[in-house]
């Protein structure tokens, strides 16, 4: 029996067991009464109502231009810890109005955010949120299984399922909670199907995880381990020979491989083609965290799986709306049976308040805009090409990891860039291993070629591109 069929069978059995125990939970979308009686519609569902554009507009700059107060600027340069109070207690500012005295603020170009397409400032996204606020307020505040799940949430789930070419989708408050919910629900399968009180070794689930996977995946697996229903194996980063060896030596029937699709700290891609080949050979469930690939890769923004033409080979796709969508939230694109299981056993989903209605409405608008304004993806990948051409560093994605070594070197480089009006923070332990401190650059469609030229000029004064380029690991990637 094929991998997908086997896992669907096990999930169906687990869902049936939950149903027999009366533990299956259902979503019941609510239609909200408008706080403005004259407004009759229940939400925007017509894609044609969203305002679209064919090139960068002035408001796109607000997604990459920020300001910091002079006190904050001075503290940053001196590496003095800040409590954030200086943004509230602004010396000399009348009536506490931000920006009243412009000379007390320093304008910076942001190269450290994850708003890859600049959608956080898009009129369609802003108007969708504002319209929902005006009509419904923040919406009912409760968990999705109580009263927090509305028409707007369902509309967003449907659009994400369509984008990911999956049967259904489950919204979660964050991408972190989405990974946690999935891993805990996965562990429940072994417990539900076990012949005894506890799963035997043969009944447990073997999870194989890339060593550089996101913390939310690791923490989710650790929670699943506490159920004593899974065994955890770590394979070397993107090393398919090592993964193949681990899979070959594992006698457990239920196998799962989970990986980031685009790694957030190193900017390299998972070897999707090789993973698909291994999936066919070893019959494992393939799960990807497409947080940084969703809307960024693929012709329609479907993500890394779409770009590598293997959407059907990815069983579960976990993602976030806080990166290229410019909003907030997480999701799990999967089959209907998987959704039933996760919404019934995924604790971080069950016990979290659902996203506010305006946020769901804004995110839905972002999905539509990201899909239809394809020029934004092209502009983003043009900036990748700009950086590569200007520096000679063979980057393969909008995430650029320039490893400088010690914390002192990384902090010094970050301070120099701050003086040049660039917001680019140093990444240090425990986020990365000791002596691998780095400058993490995130490009955006809102950046211009001139922005990248100025950044690389500033970078050249504090790092050696030739040294970095010779050590940079290039993951072959076919640019859009």
Per-residue pLDDT band at 41 (split at 50, 70, 90): very low
- For 401-407, what is the mean pLDDT? 91
Residue with tokens 């500033």: 458
* Whether the predicted pLDDT of 454 surpasses 70: yes
For the ranges 20-29, 181-190, 343-352, which has the lowest average pLDDT? 20-29
Q: Is residue 336 part of a domain?
A: yes
* Whether the predicted pLDDT of 418 surpasses 60: yes
Which spans in 303-345 are helix H? 304-307, 336-345
- For 332-337, what is the mean pLDDT? 97
> Average pLDDT, whole number, for the chain?
90
* Whether the predicted pLDDT of 102 surpasses 50: no
Please enumerate in sequence order all residues whose Cβ is within 8 A of that of 383, keeping only pairs 6 or more positions apart, or say none: 398, 443, 444, 445, 447, 449, 452
* Whether the predicted pLDDT of 429 surpasses 70: yes
234 and 95 in a single domain? The answer is no
* Residue that finishes a domain, picked among 352, 372, 392: 372
The total domain count for the chain is 3
What is the Cα–Cα distance from 192 to 48, expressed in whole angstroms? 46
DSSP 254-267: EEEEEEESB-TTT-
440 and 316 in a single domain? The answer is no
Q: Is residue 205 part of a domain?
A: yes
3-state secondary structure of 163: helix
Find the CATH number of the domain harbouring 434.
Answer: 3.90.1150.10
Q: Is residue 163 part of a domain?
A: yes
3-state secondary structure of 231: strand
pLDDT tens-place string over residues 122-157: 999 999 999 999 999 998 999 999 999 999 999 999
* Whether the predicted pLDDT of 221 surpasses 90: yes
* Whether the predicted pLDDT of 370 surpasses 70: yes
355 and 390 in a single domain? The answer is no
- For 221-229, what is the mean pLDDT? 93
* Whether the predicted pLDDT of 90 surpasses 80: no
216 and 328 in a single domain? The answer is yes
3-state helix/strand/coil string of 168-216: EEEEECCHHHHHHHHHHHHHHHHHHHCCCCCCCHHHCEEEEEECCCCHH
332 and 398 in a single domain? The answer is no
Per-residue confidence (pLDDT) for residue 471, from 0 to 100: 67
* Whether the predicted pLDDT of 93 surpasses 50: no
What is the Cα–Cα distance from 435 to 440, expressed in whole angstroms? 15
72 and 162 in a single domain? The answer is no
- For 92-115, what is the mean pLDDT? 69
Percent of the chain with pLDDT over 90: 78
Per-residue pLDDT band at 100 (split at 50, 70, 90): very low
Q: Is residue 287 part of a domain?
A: yes
CA-CA-CA-CA torsion sign (290, 294, 297, 300): positive
Q: Is residue 195 part of a domain?
A: yes
What is the Cα–Cα distance from 271 to 396, expressed in whole angstroms? 13
Residue with tokens 């950044």: 455
pLDDT tens-place string over residues 263-272: 999 999 999 9
* Whether the predicted pLDDT of 452 surpasses 60: yes
- For 426-437, what is the mean pLDDT? 89
* Whether the predicted pLDDT of 10 surpasses 80: yes
* Residue that finishes a domain, picked among 349, 372, 395: 372
* Whether the predicted pLDDT of 47 surpasses 80: no
136 and 263 in a single domain? The answer is yes
Per-residue confidence (pLDDT) for residue 48, from 0 to 100: 67
Per DSSP, what are the bridge partners of residue 316? 287
* Whether the predicted pLDDT of 476 surpasses 80: no
Per-residue confidence (pLDDT) for residue 35, from 0 to 100: 66
* Residue that finishes a domain, picked among 323, 345, 372: 372
Per-residue confidence (pLDDT) for residue 92, from 0 to 100: 44
Q: Is residue 46 part of a domain?
A: no
205 and 268 in a single domain? The answer is yes
Q: Is residue 472 part of a domain?
A: yes
Per-residue confidence (pLDDT) for residue 420, from 0 to 100: 95
10 and 157 in a single domain? The answer is yes
Q: Is residue 319 part of a domain?
A: yes
Per-residue confidence (pLDDT) for residue 74, from 0 to 100: 85
* Whether the predicted pLDDT of 94 surpasses 50: no
Global pTM reads 0.91
* Whether the predicted pLDDT of 446 surpasses 50: yes
pLDDT tens-place string over residues 290-326: 999 999 999 999 999 999 999 999 999 999 999 999 9
Contact yes or no for 28/305 (Cβ under 8 A): no
420 and 284 in a single domain? The answer is no
Residue 373 or residue 227, greater confidence: 373
Residue 430 or residue 459, greater confidence: 459
Residue 39 or residue 212, greater confidence: 212
Per-residue confidence (pLDDT) for residue 325, from 0 to 100: 98
Per-residue confidence (pLDDT) for residue 450, from 0 to 100: 98
Per-residue pLDDT band at 81 (split at 50, 70, 90): confident
Per-residue pLDDT band at 95 (split at 50, 70, 90): very low
Mean pLDDT: which of 1-15, 54-68, 232-246, 417-431 is highest?
Answer: 232-246
Q: Which domain holds residue 69?
A: 65-110
247 and 392 in a single domain? The answer is no
342 and 471 in a single domain? The answer is no
Query: Do β-strands 437-442 and 399-405 pair in parallel, antiparallel, or remain unpaired?
Result: antiparallel
Find the CATH number of the domain harbouring 240.
Answer: 3.40.640.10
């Amino acid at each position: 029996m094929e991998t997908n069929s086997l896992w669907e069978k096990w999930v169906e059995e687990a869902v049936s067991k939950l149903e027999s125990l009366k533990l299956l939970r259902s979503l019941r979308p609510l239609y909200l009464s408008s706080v403005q009686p004259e407004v009759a519609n229940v939400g925007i569902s017509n894609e044609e109502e969203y305002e679209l554009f064919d090139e960068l507009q002035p408001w796109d700059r607000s997604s990459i231009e920020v300001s910091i107060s002079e006190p904050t600027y001075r503290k940053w340069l001196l590496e003095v810890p800040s409590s954030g109070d200086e943004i509230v207690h602004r010396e000399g500012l009348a009536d506490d109005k931000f920006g009243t005295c412009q000379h007390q603020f320093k304008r910076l170009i942001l190269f450290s955010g994850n708003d890859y397409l600049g959608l956080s400032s898009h009129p369609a996204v802003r108007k969708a949120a504002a319209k929902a606020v005006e009509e419904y307020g923040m919406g009912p505040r409760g968990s999705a299984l109580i009263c927090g799940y509305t028409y707007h949430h369902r509309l967003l789930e449907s659009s994400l399922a369509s984008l990911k070419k999956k049967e259904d989708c489950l919204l979660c408050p964050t991408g972190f909670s989405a990974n946690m919910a999935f891993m805990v629900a996965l562990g429940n399968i072994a417990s539900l199907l076990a012949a005894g009180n506890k799963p035997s070794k043969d009944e447990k689930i073997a999870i194989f995880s890339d060593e550089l996977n996101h913390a939310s995946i690791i923490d989710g697996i650790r929670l699943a381990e506490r159920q004593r229903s899974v065994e955890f194996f770590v394979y070397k980063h993107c090393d398919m020979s090592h993964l193949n060896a681990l899979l070959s030596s594992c006698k457990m029937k239920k196998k799962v491989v989970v990986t980031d699709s685009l790694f957030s700290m190193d900017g390299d891609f998972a070897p999707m083609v090789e993973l698909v080949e291994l999936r066919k050979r070893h019959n494992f469930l393939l799960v990807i965290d497409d947080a940084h690939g969703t809307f960024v890769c693929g012709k329609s923004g479907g993500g890394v799986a779409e770009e590598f033409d293997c959407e059907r080979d990815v069983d579960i796709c976990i993602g976030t709306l806080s990166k290229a969508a410019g909003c907030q939230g997480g999701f799990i694109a999967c089959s209907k049976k998987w959704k039933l299981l996760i919404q019934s056993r995924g604790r971080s989903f069950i016990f979290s308040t659902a996203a506010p209605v305006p946020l769901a409405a804004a995110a839905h608008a972002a999905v539509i805009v990201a899909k239809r304004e394809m020029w934004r993806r092209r502009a983003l990948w043009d900036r990748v090409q700009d950086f590569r051409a200007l520096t000679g560093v063979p980057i393969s994605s909008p995430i650029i990891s320039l490893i400088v070594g010690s914390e002192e070197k990384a902090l010094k480089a970050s301070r120099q860039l701050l003086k040049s009006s660039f917001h680019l923070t140093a990444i240090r332990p425990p986020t990365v291993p000791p002596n691998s401190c780095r400058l993490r650059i995130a490009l955006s469609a809102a950046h211009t070629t001139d922005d990248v030229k100025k950044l690389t000029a500033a970078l050249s004064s504090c790092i050696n591109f030739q040294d970095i380029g010779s050590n940079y690991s290039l993951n072959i990637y076919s640019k859009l």
